Amino acid sequence: MLSSLVMMALGGLRFGVNRAAYQSFRRSASWRWEQVDRVGRQPAQQYTGPGADEITLEGVIYPHFKGGLRQIELMRMLAGAGRPMILVDGLGWVWERWVIVAIEETKTVFLADGAPRRIDFTVTLRAYGADGAARLRLF
């Protein structure tokens, strides 16, 4: 199988043309500011560090075309293992460790035996965060 067909890999899970392909990639970043009350003045804001980034992937699976019916079950199994996984995009960028925090699916266009011909999915990932001194400081 050509590596160019992989859009993104999360541990052993592959998103791409021959399997669960996402059509939408949304990344959310946040920074934590805590309000500090002061006597006789407006409250101040104290920076307490970065928040956890989140990525939301929305896509569609055509299980009879490629990848089969159990792709969402694999996602659930990896999420249930409770371990952070390395995220690598199709360009080769390593995004460090991430966890699956939510999976949604909608099955439509059913065959006579009840098998879906289309599965829409949404997977929400959250950055696990660096442990200890392993965090690289850029500034």
pLDDT digits (tens, 9 = 90+) for 9-54: 999 999 988 888 899 999 999 999 999 999 999 999 999 999 999 9
pLDDT digits (tens, 9 = 90+) for 79-134: 999 999 999 999 999 999 999 999 999 999 999 999 999 999 999 999 998 876 55
Q: How would you list the strands of the sheet with 94-110, edge to edge?
A: 13-16, 6-10, 85-89, 94-110, 116-127, 54-61, 21-28
CA atoms within 13 A on the CB side of 76: 8
Paired strand residues for 121: 59, 105
